[in-house]
Amino acid sequence: MCTFAARKHIKYMLEIQRIRNHSAKVTERIQAKGLKQAEEIISEVIRLDDKRKEILSNLESLRAENNRVAKTVGALLAQGKKEEAEAAKTQTAEQKTQIKQLEEELETVLTASYNQMVLLPNVPHDSVPVGKTPEDNVVAFQNDIKVTFDFTPVPHWELALKHDIIDWELGVKITGAGFPVYKGKGAILQRALIQFFLNEANKAGYTEIQPPIFINRQSGFGTGQLPDKDGQMYYINEDEFYLIPTAEVPITNIYRDVILESRELPVKNCGYTPCFRREAGSYGAHVRGLNRLHQFDKVEVVQIANPENSYAILEEMCNHVMGLLDSLRLPYRKLLLCTGDMSFASAKTFDMEVWSAAQEKWLEVSSVSNFETFQASRLKCRFRDEDKKTQLVHTLNGSALALPRIVASLLENNQQADGSILIPEVLRPYTGFDRIG
RNA sequence: GGAGAGAUGGCAGAGCGGUCGAAUGCGGCGGUCUUGAAAACCGUUGUCCCAAAAGGACCGGGGGUUCGAAUCCCUCUCUCUCCGCCA
């Protein structure tokens, strides 16, 4: 699985240099992420790397010697010294078998090393609090919009049904559960939100991209979905394509195998795509209504940054997302995820959650992350620094925003006593109506 | 889907099995000249491994032939052209 990448990416993954130089620290932080065997894996990785260097150094001097002898053969033959040439040939033959053997050993070590490396998640940034569950996340900000009712608010799936703007049954008929059909004002609202989000991203300096929504294996590997989350993506067997779980994958993979000039940084791209997630194992209230779908729409913002200021950019991206939520007049909070709740690939993540008035719970609508070099190493995305040396970039991305839960929250929070739903001011130019029902 | 052609450095484009990490042109960077710019001329200009030097790897991917392969063979992938089909 994914061994295609092993050979060339072996230096990358988590940079081996960092693991070697700060093994205690890295071990501790990775353990905090919930990987119990961090210590064993890391010591194994270092042991294998030592081994790799040893073999490599032997192999290379042998190859050097072999190259030298091979060259003399040509010269000897030219001079007509047949016997000496033959002697040299036997010598290279011996060297060849040794080289072959060392190459095989190297291969074994590289594969073993790769197998260990892929088990290692990104190292949480120092500012990430240690914790195990979502309870340990830190509320970094909460706005002061409150929603109150003098009647009992109705959950969004009922509202949607009542106004005939989302048809769950029809989605089941056409495809299956988790693929709702948006109708009439429901469909227009979707389009309005997408348009609004894209326009705001454009204003914030992001270049709009319309990427493919199928990706190949290399792309899945580049952003870290593969090999870990293989089962979470839909897969087209016949063509070996995956359906994207997020626009992050195609938009970030634009920069796979690319060396940028430092003046080009930061690169800011955004894009709207449908997103597909198998969500195997989800059930019950979590998947009710729009809470968790197999297909949903999302506008994503992606930045490729100089490591020097990637954390300032992370804040900038959070502010962009919060600005959107502000203009939609939604109650929301910003969470700093603890070590245990972060994704495998992330070094630091903020989640944005909106309040869902009828369900009386917070719904995640955005996740903004700095991956530092985790993705860059797999993508081999680098930039040339002042000394003209190539260096891995930092990649960041965030949802800006994911639609379904925004819609859920809008419907529930903006419902009126008469059952109608008010459209937020900012969206009205996009929808062309100010109320549903 | 059928037939053919091809894959070389940022791009274009050479490359008898050894002297090719690779000609040449363009672009980029530095310089001379100029009040400045252009033109012209000179120089420079791939990535990766190894702490570094020495050294090694890389001419789409993988395998093979050979003392020696960018150059020969096999295979995979991709791209292009023509035909068919079609938004």
* Tens-place pLDDT, residues A43-61: 999 999 888 888 888 888 8
pLDDT for res A354 = 97
pLDDT for res A80 = 73
In angstroms, the CA of A39 and the C1' of B36 are apart by 64
Between vectors from CA A193 to CA A191 and to CA A199, what angle results, nearest 5°? 100
A112 and A245 part of one domain: no
pLDDT band at A360 (very low <50, low <70, confident <90, very high): very high
Enclosing domain of residue A107: 3-32+36-117
How large is the ipTM?
Answer: 0.84
The CATH number assigned to the domain holding A338 equals: 3.30.930.10
Average pLDDT estimate for A405-421: 95
A99 and A168 part of one domain: no
A61 and A150 part of one domain: no
A105 and A191 part of one domain: no
Residue A122 lies in a domain: no
A145 and A221 part of one domain: yes
A193 and A88 part of one domain: no
What secondary structure letter does DSSP report for A415? B
Residue A20 lies in a domain: yes
In angstroms, the CA of A106 and the C1' of B21 are apart by 25
User: Tokens 């001011």 belong to which residue?
Assistant: A425
Tokens of A276: 């597909």
Q: Which of A64-73, A214-223, A291-300 has the highest mean pLDDT?
A: A291-300
Residue A126 lies in a domain: no
A269 strand-pairing partners: A207, A302
| Global pTM value | 0.91
A147 and A237 part of one domain: yes
A367 and A394 part of one domain: yes
The CATH number assigned to the domain holding A73 equals: 1.10.287
Q: Which of A365-369, A380-384, A387-391 has the highest mean pLDDT?
A: A365-369
A366 strand-pairing partners: A352
Tens of pLDDT, residues A234-251? 988 888 889 999 999 999
A91 and A166 part of one domain: no
In angstroms, the CA of A381 and the C1' of B31 are apart by 33
A141 and A195 part of one domain: yes
Q: What are phi and psi of A144, to 5 degrees?
A: -105, 25
Residue A123 lies in a domain: no
Question: Which of residues 24 to 83 on A have a Cβ less than 7 angstroms from any strand B atom?
Answer: 53, 56-57, 60-61, 63-64, 67, 69-71, 73-74, 77
In angstroms, the CA of A306 and the C1' of B40 are apart by 39
Average pLDDT estimate for A312-326: 97
Report in angstroms the alpha-carbon separations of A61 from A10, A89, A105.
21, 18, 16
Measured CA to C1', the nucleotide nearest A4 is B61
A66 and A107 part of one domain: yes
Residue A127 lies in a domain: no
A227 and A291 part of one domain: yes
If one counts the domains in chain A, the total is 2
pLDDT for res A428 = 97
Report in angstroms the alpha-carbon separations of A119 from A138, A218, A245, A371.
27, 18, 21, 16
